[in-house]
Amino acid sequence: MAYANDIKQEGARLSDAPARLARTIAQRWRAHRAYRTTLNELRSLSDRELNDLGLNQSMLRSIAREASRDA
């Protein structure tokens, strides 16, 4: 039979919530900045330059989104 003082809860505590939230916000902000930076740089390329890379305008958002996942 287990008593209440024998039960240990593994994992996160409520007191850890603010730190987790701050880390999540920081990570999402970095990902957003990476997305915007990548998208802006890709949009600055001419259609000829994009074509040389094998890209077109319709692909830019998905490429930027993929690049931001790594940030």
pLDDT tens, position by position, 11-61: 667 788 899 999 999 999 999 999 999 999 999 999 999 999 999 999 999
The answer to whether the beta carbons of residues 32 and 40 sit under 8 Å apart is: no
Higher-confidence residue of 2 and 52: namely 52
Give 46's Cβ-side CA count (13 Å radius). Answer: 3
> Would you state the torsion angle of the CA atoms of residues 10, 14, 16, 17, taken in this order, to the nearest 10 degrees?
130
For residue 44, the model assigns a pLDDT of 97
- What are the two backbone dihedrals, phi and then psi, of residue 11, each rounded to the nearest 5 degrees? 105, -155
pTM of the complete model: 0.72
What per-residue confidence (pLDDT) applies to 53? 95
Location of structure tokens 């790594």? 70
Whole-number pLDDT of residue 23: 95
Structure tokens at 20: 């987790």
Model pLDDT, residue 17: 87
